[in-house]
A and B are shown apart, each in its own frame.
Chain A
Amino acid sequence: MVKICKASLKYASGDGLDRISLEVRSGEFVYLVGPTGAGKSSVLKMIYMDALPSEGYVTVGGYDSRDISDNEIPFVRRKIGIVFQDFKLLEDRDVFENVAFALRVTGARRKDIKRKTLRALGEVSLPHKSRKMPHELSGGEQQRVAIARAIVNDPFILLADEPTGNLDPKTTIQIMNILDRLSTRGTAILMATHNYELVNSSVKRVVSIKNGTTLN
């Protein structure tokens, strides 16, 4: 599935990751916690191959960071769903088009696009808002659209970088419930957060990271 093995990453600033190892199996829900600047986002970046390790390796569903070519990276991304703290929705198109975007980009057929998009919106309980523009939605709703877009391609893993960072506690619970449901259906989830309260109240696997190294 996803395996990071003794991977190091060096930024020009001198920061980075130092021989990180982490494995996520299918359907697993893993929290990645650590103080700000610890390297959580960097770990996720290595998984979606936005940054390749200088030492060690990362394998993602058959692709290996040691011998991947630039042309293959888009195809890695199609097997991964990614959600960010700031949603990253496109403001110039409505909810439906935002979700469908991930399908159109892969050259999916029109009929499939409609069916899959509506199904993904169903997963986050938003089919009735499909013709709304992003700015007409609340933060929680926008994040749900982002999740719908992330899962519309049926990824085997969903990477979530502080997905609840901008949301109030009630909305946070709503989003967490959606992620839980996805994981029980078989989608692995790796969620970076520094919300220790959230992590402590759950029984899921937790990987801590500090100063660029994993602690357990």
Chain B
Amino acid sequence: MLFVLGEGLSGLLKSRLSGLMAVITIAVSSILIGIFLIITANLSYLVENLRGRVELEVFLDDSFNEEKIETLSTQIRAIHGVQTLTFISKETAVLAYRDLFKEQKDDYFDALGYNPLPASFRVTLKESYRTSTGADSVFNSISSLADINEDDVVYRREFLVLMERYIRIAITIDFLVGSIVCLSALLLVSNNIRLIIISKRRAIETMKLVGATRFLIRMPLYIQGTLQGLIGGLLATVFLYGLLKLSAIEIAGLISVNWQIYILLITLGVLLGVTGSFSAIRRYL
């Protein structure tokens, strides 16, 4: 066992240039992937935030009495996907309107002499219903209630659909860039191990002749690949940490990363190292 570790370590030290290349590639790939992950994390955070603000407005006819409003609100609350329901009376609506247009000098309502704004329900959605299909189903359920007209239920459908399209595009780009970066890192690691196998050809031949098991021949190469991955992942972590520390001053509040991402980066590096050496060993040994 000690022998295996020693051979792995000395192999790493001896393959200086190509080993360094592999380590750097793993580090750069991990950094790129890390940056993409951070951007995606921020994006989805933002998206979740926006989704949370999606709500349906149900306008109520002025002829509805209190009792009717009470029944309707119970019915709507019972619909799948509805999280909260808030009643906005005509008076509250006016206050909100005034608040919105407070710089306007002459008051529109005073001039009008009566309150034209309808009372309404403001309905928010449960998390799993904050999608265009989810919102649609709630919309359909509400508008199919007696006394409620389809035109009286309003929500920003186009906004949801558009947002969903952009998320899909972002995830696709993430995935594409991620896989290209990973693939090139894998190729370089694998190539590095291939070079090591070639340079150790005689030693490997001798090992086989004196009765070394497959495990003993392969393990040092795996250790070497894994160490390269580990070092690459650690470098990426240090780099990214520094980068975030610096940029956090610039774009305060935007970036929110937790320590899991660093664990992920190191794991990713190790994984790249192991898979790279695995494929090289399979093909060239």
Contact = CB atoms under 8 A, between A and B. Distances in A.
B211 interface: yes
A104 B211 CA distance: 10
Interface string A37-52: 0000000000010000
A90 B211 contact: no
Interface in B171-210: 202-203, 205-210
A77 B210 contact: yes
Contacts of B205: 88
A78 B213 contact: no
Contacts of A70: 214
Contacts of A102: 210-211
Contacts of A91: 202
Contact of B209 (A82, A106, A107): A82
Contacts of B202: 88, 90-91
Interface in B202-226: 202-203, 205-214, 216
Contacts of A82: 209
Interface string A76-99: 111000100000101110000000
B213 A71 contact: yes
B259 interface: no
Contact of B208 (A77, A92, A101, A107): A77
B209 A88 contact: yes
Nearest to B203: A90
A96 to B, nearest CB: 15
Given A88-B202, A90-B203, A105 B214 contact: no
A75 B207 CA distance: 12
Contact of A104 (B3, B208, B209, B214): B3
Interface string B1-37: 1010000000000100000000000000000000000
Q: Which secondary structure dominates chain B's binding surface?
A: helix
A187 interface: no
A48 B205 CA distance: 13
Given A88-B202, A90-B202, A153 B214 contact: no
B9 to A, nearest CB: 14
A48 B206 contact: no
A101 B210 contact: yes
Interface string B35-48: 00000000000000
Contact of B216 (A71, A88, A105, A153): A105
Interface of A: 48, 70-71, 74-78, 82, 88, 90-92, 101-102, 104-107, 149, 153
27 contacts: A48-B209, A70-B214, A71-B213, A74-B208, A74-B211, A74-B212, A74-B213, A74-B214, A77-B209, A77-B210, A78-B210, A82-B209, A88-B202, A88-B209, A91-B202, A102-B211, A104-B3, A105-B3, A105-B207, A105-B210, A105-B211, A105-B212, A106-B210, A107-B3, A149-B210, A153-B210, A153-B211
